[in-house]
Each structure stands twice: as C-alpha cells, then as structure tokens.
Structure 1
C-alpha cells in the first residue's frame, strides 16, 4: 500500500489503450455471464492473504443484511490488475465492483467505462467523504468512483542524525530541505534524503513541482511548466545534485533504495507513508528507536499529497444497484474505520477520520502511532497533486529524462525545460 504504488505500471497504457479503443470501436462481445443472478463480483488488489479474514467477515455481514445478494470476491496481484481490467472492460466481462486508483481509473473514465455516480449517490452520502478526496475520482466534472482507503506522505526522520548536524527539527519546506541537506552533509558526511528520478518509479519529484507552484499542463493538455516557476523547480533539483547533496543513485534506483538507505542510517529523512515505520521497526530496530515523524515537506503553496485507492463500477454491469450498494457498504464510516485499523491506512470519510484512533496519542505511543496522527492531520487539506490526464506517466518520463540530463551537465536548465515541453507537446496521440 505504499504510495509509489499509485504511480506504478502505467507503461502499458498507451498500447493497451489503443487495443481497448479498437475493441470497443469494433463491437466487443456481450458480457459473459460469469456471475449468477443476484451475484456481485468484487475485485481487489493484492489484499490476500493478509486481509482475508477481514473481507470474509465484511462480505458475510453484507450478505446477511441483503438476502438474495451474494458477493464473489476475487483478489488480483498488483502486477496483473491493469492488464486484467483493461481486457475485461474491453470484452464487457468486467467485475461489478473494482478496486483501482484514480489515476489509472481515469484513463478508462475518459472512455466512458465506469458508471457515473453523481445522480446515483445521494448528496447526503457524498458529503460523508472528504470533498478534496472525492474530487480525485472525477473527470470533466463527472464522478466515476468512490474514495476508499488513503495514505498521506510524512517526513520520517532520524533524530540522532539531525542532532549530529546541529539541527533541532526537520525541514518543513523544500527551501529548508536544501539548507538541511548541506548542513547534514558538511557535519556528518551523510545525505539528508533520497528522491528518485527513475521515470518508471515514484512521482515524488514531479509532485514537488506542483508544491512549488508549477502548473504542469494547461486546459488543452499542453505543457505549462516552461515558465519561471518551472525553471526554478528544475534548477532546485539540479543544484542539489551538482552540489553533491543527493546520492548519485537517484538517477538509477527507485523508492525501495530510499527505504534501504534510511534503514542503514545513511539518510536523515524518508518521505513515505506512515505505515513504513512498522517496516523500519522490524528491519532496523536501532534506527526505529531514533525515528520520529513530521508533516510532509512542501513548497510555498503548502500543498500536501494524498494517495487514494477507490472503488469503481463498470458501466456495463448487469447488477448496478447491488454493486453500488456493496461499494457504499465497503466505504461507509464503520467499515472504513475497521479497515484503516487493520491495514494501517487512513479512511476517506470525515466521521471515520475523527475517531480517537487518529486523534488521541496514547501514553505508550510508538513511533508508528505518532506517525499515524501526523498523517491523519493532513487529510483535510491533502490532495492528489498530479491531475488525472491521459499519458500521465509519459509526462513524468519526459520531465525526469530532461531533468537528469541537466543534472549530468548534458543540457542547461533552460534547454532541459524547453526540450521537456517540446517532447510532451510533440508526442504521438
């Protein structure tokens, strides 16, 4: 459930999108009747076996409350979900309720694949979800999904390393991060942080552009980052790299390496989900003991990211009412709170987020408990920073590749920004 999953595996979208469009335009076969009358097929992403008991109980409760409706739960590995759902939607044999994320789901929302929810979800029910989170599952003003579980990034930091560098607290902004990076390197010889620039991996650096006030694309989908703020964002990362304040591996290693370096005590700050503190506790107990959490680092805008998982209902379902009823059941206050506790994530409903589990720090609070409070406190204002758009991973790729070239001195910052803009605008559509 790590945040980088929200960004993974978009590389096949261009090819599969063409295939999907071709299948639809040629007339796909009718939906195969793989479910019986009154049976709702529900797909999740890699939640077995860890949460098998949770979902069995959830489904039993729903079926008891709704006689005549049966839920068939299918759990799909992360690596296979996009291919499987694309194929199923094209063949009109998709399940009735699907667990995806807004960025991927929006690719199919643009092709009218999902049931529109604005007229089907009562206003009083819609208001139970955070409005900023609900917006992540809308495209062109139309709602295509129900928000489910969330994570917001926090700054996990090594208090010992900061103390060795003479720092009393972690940085709150990117401007402070640059100063912190220099002080830590000068005093300890170590790095403040690791932020990958591998195009296929984390979108953290791309999100930083938005946090710094950069508009990525305009209303027509054309590059909008060839501006003074865009050049300043490029320059920020280039300067950090050229001044030796970022590990060289940022050009070749992904977010997994960031976790490894932090657990080894080689970096002072890890930008990640609060849930990773339990991983650190298990893998690196000595580092865990000196770890604490602070709000995620941001730019002058103050914007903070949230990673969202949602539930969507295919437009061609033959069980629209039952599917929606089940999706609303899965994402209601009670069940969101229950799953958030089981999975160490955050709920997307306001009432569930106000539970004492997210607001009261116990006397014997662990670093993970404190991180959960920090993470939850960001929910009211956090947002999906990268807008839903076609070819979003291509945008990340063209920016990262040109940013890398500038870091390596192969291009000036101005040339890198211009080339990235031209590369995005000139791509094959």
Structure 2
C-alpha cells in the first residue's frame, strides 16, 4: 500500500526540527574520543554495516595505522545501515559525534549546509586532493566548499537475462529510447516485463537520475524548479507511456527496488539495474538465473551520463582531534587501502591510481559473472558522475516529482498538469 504524503512530510518536519536544534546547540566535545592525559589521541570511527564481512580488514588496517602513528588509537564502531542517519543526527545534535563518519553525499550535504562538518579546503593539501578522481571529489562539495573525502564507489550496470532477450529477439538497451523498444518486444514475445524501476517516493533515486540523464536540469542557481521544460515534460511522458502501455509492472508504484531484484531472480523481468557487487547474491539466490545473466553498460539518455554512488568520510566540526581525524581518513582512502577494500567488497575505488589497476581493466573475453560486471562497471567511470546535486531538500524534490509522476501514470493528471504542479509545489515549499 502506498505510503501517504503526510507521513513523509511529518518526517521531514521532524528532521528539520532536529537540525534546527543542532544549529541552536552548536558544537560539543565528542564522548569517548579526544586527547588523554598522557597525550594519546583517540579517533572514533563510524562505518555503515561493514561487520562482520570486513571485520578482519578493518582490524588489520587500524592496527597498521596505529603502528605507523604512535600516540593515536582508533576506536571503530559499525552502525547498521538503517540506523546511521538517526544515530549521527542525534550524536551531532548532542555534541557527541565521532571523529570520522562514513556517509553518502546526499545525507552528508543536508548537515553540511548547517555547518556540521569540518570544512576541508584549508585542511587537505592540493597534493592529497589530486589523488582522487576530480569528479568524485566534486561530489563532496556544497556551495564551493569541500565537506568530505571520497571513499568507495558503486556504479550500476545492466544485468540482463540472455534467454529472455533472445526470445524477444533484442539486444540489451543502452539508452532509454532503446529501453522502450526492448520493453515492447519482451512484453509481446514472452509475456513478461523487461524492466522494473520504482516510483515509491522514499525509495531508489533511479527515476530522479533519469531526468538528468535525459538532459533535464532539476533546479536553477537560485534553487527554483528548472524541470518544467520541454525536456522535463518528455521525461514525464516517457515514464507515463511505459506504464499506461503495460510495459512496466503495476507494482512500480507501490514496491521498492528490492522488488526489482526479486522479479529478476525469479526470471520475471529481463533487466536489472544494480551494482557489480550484487552479482554473487544472484548466484547464491538464483543460480539458474545467474547462469544466463550477462552485463551491459548502465542505461542512459542522449547525454551519455552514467550515475555513480559515492561513499565518503566526513569529519564532524565538533571533533577535538581534527588533525588526527583527517590523517586517518586520508589513510583509509589512500591508493593501497582503497584497492584492497575494493577487491574485498567488489566495489570501485575513488582514487585514480587504484582504478587503473589491472584488476579493474576491461576484459572482452571475460565470462559472464562478477568479473565481467566489474569490468563493465569500471569502464563507465570516465562518464560517471554524481547526477543528483548535493543540495538541501533533495529527498523532498524526489518525493514531489514521484508523487506527480504517479498521478500522471494513473491518469489522475495530464502530464502538463503534473509537471506544472510539481514545479509549483517545489517552489512553494
């Protein structure tokens, strides 16, 4: 059942209240970290759901760091994925934040706009900054100020069921225009669907990213709606037509990205947009489907833009060991450690040298599987960027667009009315 708008905006209002409290309360000293009486510094480091799979990796990394940096100890705390936003928000508000935190740019930017993080432009040298892919470093900036250090990356590829596409007589699509043709052929020839992408406002941002990939600017320099244009209307019309022509499952309005995975593993949809790191899960859950699954580049628009998701490390402004915190964050994200972690986790590194390692190079002869998916993923990095701007209110913008898209798809509004209402709602927020 679709969640109601009042719940989402109540949540947004509650978050805004807490953030206002953050501004009012100001900084404080984090508990459990800082400089001891003997001069020893402790850095408290929070990650997101990396235990138990990477416990050994981090224990060894921390031990090595401590041996190279006498007088500094690191206390590692791993936080469940679903709890991180509420826990870090509470900790920052109460002045008990850790010294280094693993977050994504979207949520980090919400607090960066309220000066929760240590500005890095004067703290990280040009030489250290040059280690990272320039477009990825840029993703951790807000209003021209750097607030995070890039860590690992994921960029979606298109996993496709070779059997279903062969039955439909089509090749995997690389553009949204091709996707529409493939969707029609798969539906007609197999009775199944080609693709599932969610329009649930609180879930995946894939549809929001599709606006940018199809040449739509979301907001202008003043933060006002910039999507009520012929290009924006074309995107509204595109998704509305796919749905009304029965080329998308009805569940796209009520189910999240997890449902896309379930349908792909059941052989009910031909295409799945996901990261290479997910391939082993398909091999475990649906070995018969994995055996006929191959990888193609991420679907894009005429812009050719590919999206990349960035995990970063931020330093709370309240840290009383900021130099040690930055030093540790740079250590975690250096070339050698990024390469080691990327190999262990089937993700991509954000440093130029690590990404050029032979491990990530394209192998045209690679058999279908995780190696092929990883090669396709790495090959996209030249075009990849964070498509959704780091901005305050981005989840609210997604909700407004998705709600009005749903109204158009269900015939409750015309496309013109839906996009006009979305722009007005955003500008009046």
Give the alignment's TM-score, normalised by structure 1. Answer: 0.94
Q: Pick closer, same or farther for the CA change 1:23–1:306 going to 2, 3 Å.
A: closer
Matched, 1:135 2:138: yes
Q: Secondary structure at the match of 1:149?
A: strand
CA–CA distance in 1 between the matches of 2:165 and 2:410?
Answer: 29
CA–CA distance in 2 between the matches of 1:236 and 1:281?
Answer: 33
Of 253, 277, 280, 1:278 maps to 280
Deviation at 1:315, TM superposition (A): 1.3
- For residues 51-70 of structure 1, the aligned pairs below 5 Å read 51-70=54-73
* Aligned equivalent of 1:241: 243
Cα displacement string for residues 193-242 of structure 1 (whole angstroms, at most 9, x for unaligned residues): 10110111111011001100011111111111111000000000000001
Q: Pick closer, same or farther for the CA change 1:268–1:366 going to 2, 3 Å.
A: closer
* Aligned equivalent of 1:368: 370
* Aligned equivalent of 1:414: 416
Q: Which consecutive unaligned segments of at least 5 residues does structure 2 have?
A: 1-7, 36-40
CA contact (8 A) 1:31 1:91 kept: no
Q: Secondary structure at the match of 1:58?
A: helix
* Aligned equivalent of 1:5: none
CA contact (8 A) 1:184 1:190 kept: yes
Give the alignment's TM-score, normalised by structure 2. Answer: 0.94
Q: Secondary structure at the match of 2:312?
A: strand
* Aligned equivalent of 2:157: 154
Deviation at 1:61, TM superposition (A): 0.2
- For residues 378-417 of structure 1, the aligned pairs below 5 Å read 378-417=380-419
* Aligned equivalent of 2:330: 328
* Aligned equivalent of 1:302: 304
Deviation at 1:30, TM superposition (A): 3.2
Q: Secondary structure at the match of 2:74?
A: strand
Q: Pick closer, same or farther for the CA change 1:203–1:349 going to 2, 3 Å.
A: same
CA–CA distance in 1 between the matches of 2:113 and 2:258?
Answer: 32
Deviation at 1:142, TM superposition (A): 0.6
* Aligned equivalent of 1:346: 348
Of 178, 181, 184, 2:180 maps to 178
CA–CA distance in 1 between the matches of 2:303 and 2:142?
Answer: 24
Q: Pick closer, same or farther for the CA change 1:10–1:207 going to 2, 3 Å.
A: farther
Deviation at 1:105, TM superposition (A): 0.4
Deviation at 1:391, TM superposition (A): 1.3
- For residues 18-57 of structure 1, the aligned pairs below 5 Å read 18-25=17-24, 27-28=25-26, 30-37=28-35, 38-57=41-60
CA contact (8 A) 1:234 1:403 kept: yes
CA contact (8 A) 2:362 2:379 kept: no
* Aligned equivalent of 1:293: 295
CA contact (8 A) 2:295 2:368 kept: no
- How many residue pairs end up in the alignment? 417
* Aligned equivalent of 2:87: 84
Deviation at 1:78, TM superposition (A): 1.3
